[in-house]
Amino acid sequence: MALIAVLSLSACSRTYSAVLHTRTDPTPVNPVLGVTVVVIDGLTVETQRGLGEDAAECVTAAISRMRQARLIPAKQCQRTVMPDLSRASAPLDRESLGTLTKDAAFRSRAATAGIRYIIAVGGYTHMSDADLQSIILAFRWQRTTTLVAEIVDVASGESLGRVDVSVNGSADWVVHMFPIGTFAFTESKACRKLGSGVVDFLGKGS
């Protein structure tokens, strides 16, 4: 008879976060004039489109709860302000956004749609390889999610500032007899932090 040992893992996860507000233009922000949130490439060193879309939803939801803000849905912005831009064939990136906001026709369409500010969102998650900690089969790995939101004034075509969020999570896995495990969900925490960070930026700028 063969003796079969079943080894499984359990974990204790921890997360640490940092939120940085950078204001590059002292012009007051008045979100009542109209805000839209779009996903773009090139804000961070890597681009993960799905994560950027999730982050945009978090920021949109956070702004929608502000008393003094008028939110224009991203789909409406896409349809009325950027009708020629296909997200599938030519995703919007930071360079093209900068070009668009300097274009008089684009700014006119945005004004007609009631959009004064574009909040560009993007980010990525990096996960390290598992690191064996000791001979008792304890493992640790690091998971870091970086999200950025840049606030652009369509009227001037200038960036007013940005909110940077970094959430780092570690998980320690130890061999046990029963399958118990948790993960460091850095994306969800970073998403919430970005939403509240943008609201704080808009609120202080008004």
What the block records as the tokens of 175 is 């061999």
pLDDT confidence bin for 180, thresholds 50/70/90: very low
pLDDT at position 9 = 39
Q: What is the pLDDT of residues 131-161, one digit of tens each?
A: 555 545 556 678 899 999 999 999 998 999 9
What gap in Å lies between CA 111 and CA 103, rounded to an integer? 12
Q: What is the pLDDT of residues 13-32, one digit of tens each?
A: 577 889 998 988 888 899 99
Q: Which CATH number fits domain 10-205: 3.30.160, 2.60.40, 1.25.40, 1.10.3470?
A: 3.30.160
The half-sphere exposure of 12 on its side-chain side, counting CA atoms within 13 A, is: 3
For residue 26, what are the contacts with CB-CB under 8 A and spacing of at least 6? none
- What pTM, to 2 d.p., does this model score? 0.80
What the block records as the tokens of 56 is 């945009």
Query: Which ranges constitute the DSSP H helices of 67-122?
Result: 74-80, 94-101, 104-112
DSSP letter string over 52-81? HHHHHHHHHHHHHT-SS--BPPHHHHHHHT
pLDDT at position 205 = 53
Mean pLDDT, all residues of the chain: 81
For residue 131, what are the contacts with CB-CB under 8 A and spacing of at least 6? 139, 140, 141
| Rounded mean pLDDT, 163-188 | 70
Which of 66, 58, 85 lies closest to 149 in space, CA to CA? 58
